[in-house]
Every structure is written in C-alpha cells, then in structure tokens.
Amino acid sequence: MSSSPRIAEHEIHEHFINRWSPRAFIPEAIDEKTLLSFFEAARWSPSAYNSQPWRFLYARRDTPNWERFLGLLNEFNRGWAQHASALVIVVSKTTFTAPGATEESPALWHTFDTGAAWAYLALQASISGWHTHAMAGFDQDKTREELKVPEGYDLHAAVAIGKLGDKSTLAEYLQARETPSPRMPLSKLAAEGDFSL
Amino acid sequence: MSSSPRIAEHEIHEHFINRWSPRAFIPEAIDEKTLLSFFEAARWSPSAYNSQPWRFLYARRDTPNWERFLGLLNEFNRGWAQHASALVIVVSKTTFTAPGATEESPALWHTFDTGAAWAYLALQASISGWHTHAMAGFDQDKTREELKVPEGYDLHAAVAIGKLGDKSTLAEYLQARETPSPRMPLSKLAAEGDFSL
C-alpha cells in the first residue's frame, strides 16, 4: 500500500479525494434538514431493478435518541463518536418485488446497492462541509432489538457524522491515525481483459 | 413508488440527481485515460479498515477484449450494451489482512464496500459526460472462467459505459423505459430512532 499523500493518478473531481473519515469531531448539533440532505443524495443511488434497498435510522445529538444509538457502538468507537453530531445505522431490505412479480424474492444485490447509497451519503456530507466515518464496530444483535429492526432487513454499518475537530482532542494513540488514508495504486485494482491483479 | 419526475426533496449537489442509467449509447471509442479516471474515483472510496476490496476488469470497444466481454452478458443486455464504449466487470476480494494480523481473514464488508466504489465510478463518469448502466444479467461462471478470476474473489456486476445515444435506436419496448427512474419518497427510507419504515 502506498504511503504517499492523496494524489490522484488520473484527473477526477476534487469531491472524491477530499472526502475522508476522521475521528475528531466538534460536538455541535446538526439540524435535521441538513442531515436529511445526506440521505437525499443516497436516495438517488442506482440499484438492481431500481429496488432501492437502503434504509437509514438516525439519531441527532441533544435529542432523546442520542444515548440509545451511542450505546450500540463498541467501546472503542463510542470513545470518539460521542463527539459526533449524528449517528446513523445503515440497513438494507433483503427482498424485493421483481418486475411483473406479485410476491417478493431475495434481493441478491441489496448489500452492494446499499454500499452505493452509503457512498453518496458520505460524499454529499463532505460536499456540505461535514465528515462521516463508517464503523463496523457496533452490536448488531443489540441494534436489531433496540431499534426494532424486523426480519428481512440486514444491518451493515454505523456511521458517525460531524464537523471536523482538532485531533488533539483524541486519545494520543489515535492522533497519529487522524489523517486521510492512502490508497493502493490503480494498477492493483483495474486490469484490461483477464484478471491479473 | 413515486412516478414523479426527478425532483430532490432536499437540496443536494446536482451530480447525484443528474446520474442515471440509460441503454441507448453511441457506439464510439473511449480512450483509456478517460476510462481509468472513472476507476480512479472509485479508488478513493471508503472501506472497512481501508481494505479496498474493489477490483475492475474492463474491455474497450474496438479492442481484442471487446467481443469476449460482450459474450459474458445475457442476450437481453447484449442487445443494447453492444453499442457501449466500455464494459466492466466489478469484482471484490473476499479476504483481507486485518491491522496487526499476518494472515488473511474473511472481509465481511467486501460487497458493501465494492458497492460504494461502483457508486463513485458511476458518478465520476456522469460528471465527465458519460453514462453507466450496471447489469446483474451476465454469466458469472462463464465470466470467472473466461477472465480467469481466481477463488477468493466475488463477481458483482457488469457495467456498460458509453455516451448517451438516441432512444430511437433501441428496440421499441425499451424506448418507453429510457428515462431517468423515479425514487421512493425519503420518508420510506430514513427514520429518526426506531425502525418505522
């Protein structure tokens, strides 16, 4: 993996390279209209058969749901994400009604499509001057029970959303990691013709 | 599902709402530098532990790989995608090396993360004046064999990339579908607190 700074190998919109996932946030409120605009971007994601499997449950800081959502994270993530402005649980519907069908069938692409929706959420937030950080470290069973997520829906990620804070507010061992992450070179990701990666 | 035109319920960047998935393409060549810029945007996607599981195999029209890739699509998709400029197979690595580990373990989020990378690919293409259309309808077994995709990698989607053509070039029954698709209202996708969707 390259340790070089974030320099694009090919010309792309600055949106993509500007987005990154910090842990230091300023603990300020987010208004609901702003937060909904991030889901709005996600809403326009592509999906198989336009099935739109993505669902988002959210809590804003300084509201009654905040502590409930914070309690779903593991201790490590709770340590820094407590300073965020919103927490989101990303969910997907695992079945869909195929074109012309009257009953639901398994949605084979619900995870892939919901990843796409998350990507647009993160990008719109970044464009609007906010930052997002997705976490695998949350208690799925507890989340399902606490937030009453029914069968037929999968849980994928928790996301912290906030305004970028000063890294000096983080525990010392996290300060060194508080920088936009590098990427593998494109030559390891894309190949013309046969798989040769 | 709303049949209303594409009007955002909340203010978002026009990039998101401008992107859509047509089937009518002008059969013109794409230069490799342009195509690589779409993968470049995908490269900057977020992923669990920055594991970057996404991989892309591609063929450009008027090159020796073109017919091989076209032959992986089902007949329906081949009918319209034959006029595209590039075909891409989206692949993911199913294992990763966790931080501090010396051996690989299952990458639980490889599908979700690869969906995110696809979303950025599609958006950069749209920003650059191209269009993408992802397809589930391709032969996974044939693709794995033909393109020599090893074990430990999953296949997710085929993607056609091209310049928007006139819908009159499509079969008549497809012409009526050649329009940006609507979306469910945001109220069906996002909820504050408990699942109530």
> B35-71: per-residue pLDDT in tens?
999 999 999 999 999 999 999 999 999 999 999 999 9
Tell me, yes or no, whether B16 lies in a domain: no
- DSSP conformation class of A6: S
**Residue B161 near residue B121 (C-beta atoms within 8 A):** no
pLDDT digits (tens, 9 = 90+) for B123-156: 999 999 999 999 999 999 999 999 999 999 999 9
For residue A59, the enclosing domain spans: 20-176
Q: What is the per-residue burial (b if ≥16 Cβ within 10 Å, else e) of B69-97? A: bbebbeeebeebbbbbbbbbbbbbbbebe
Do A117 and B112 count as a contact with CB atoms less than 8 A apart? Answer: no
Q: Is the pLDDT of residue B7 over 90?
A: yes
Rounded Cα distance between A104 and A107, Å, is 9
Let me know if residue A138 belongs to a domain: yes
CA distance B157 to B159: 6
B152 touches chain A (CB under 8 A): no
Is A62 part of any domain?
Answer: yes
Summarised one tens digit per residue, pLDDT across range B150-193 is: 999 999 999 999 999 999 999 999 999 999 999 999 999 999 99
How many independent structural domains does chain B possess?
Answer: 1
Q: Which residues of A touch B157 (CB under 8 A)?
A: 109, 112
Query: What is the pTM assigned to this prediction?
Result: 0.97
pLDDT-derived band at B12 (thresholds 50, 70, 90) equals very high
pLDDT score of A1 more than 70: no
Q: What is the mean pLDDT of residues A121-135?
A: 98
Tell me whether residues A114 and B115 touch, CB distance under 8 A.
yes
Give the distance from CA A148 to its chain's centroid: 20
- A117 within domain boundaries: yes
> Cα(A192)–Cα(B58) distance, rounded to whole angstroms?
5
Q: What is the pLDDT of residue A5?
A: 73
Considering only CB atoms, B113 lies closest to which of A64, A115, A123, namely: A115
Structural domain includes residue A5: no
**pLDDT top residue among B3 and B149:** B149
The whole-angstrom separation of Cα B174 and Cα B179 is 10
Any chain B CB within 8 A of the CB of A74?
Answer: no
Per-residue pLDDT of A36-77, as tens digits, reads: 999 999 999 999 999 999 999 999 999 999 999 999 999 999
pLDDT of A16 above 60:
yes
Q: Name every chain B residue with its beta carbon within 8 A of the beta carbon of A50.
A: 181-183
Q: Among B13, B30, B16, B14, which residue's Cα sits nearest to residue B120?
A: B16
- Which residues from chain A sit within 8 angstroms of residue B181, using beta carbons? 50
Q: CB distance A189–B13 less than 8 Å?
A: no
User: The tokens of B64 are what?
Assistant: 């020796």
Q: Is residue A34 part of a domain?
A: yes
Could you tell me whether strands A104-106 and A131-135 are parallel, antiparallel, or unpaired per DSSP bridges? Answer: unpaired
The owner of tokens 């989101």 is A88
Cβ-Cβ contacts under 8 Å, A123 against chain B: 120, 123
The tokens 């299952």 sit on which residue?
Answer: B106
R_g over Cα of chain B: 18
Beta bridge partners of A60: A86
Which ipTM score applies to this complex?
A: 0.97
Note whether residue A14 is domain-resident. no
Residue A91 has pLDDT above 80, yes or no: yes
The encoded tokens of residue B141 equal: 């077994």
Check if A120 contacts B (Cβ < 8 Å). yes
- For residue B46, the domain's CATH number is 3.40.109.10
Using a CB-CB cut-off of 8 Å, the residues of chain A touching B113 are: 115
| Residue A70: partners with Cβ closer than 8 Å, 6 or more residues away | A59, A78, A81, A82, A87
- pLDDT, tens digit, for every residue of B85-104? 999 999 999 999 998 999 99
- B4 inside domain: no
Whether the CB-CB separation of B165 and A118 falls below 8 Å is answered with: no
- Residue that has been written with the tokens 């800081």 in this structure: A61
A29 at the B interface (CB within 8 A)?
no
- Enter the tokens of residue A45: 């994601």
The confidence score (pLDDT) of residue B5 equals 73
Per DSSP, A12 falls in state: -
With CB atoms and an 8 Å threshold, state whether B116 touches A111: no
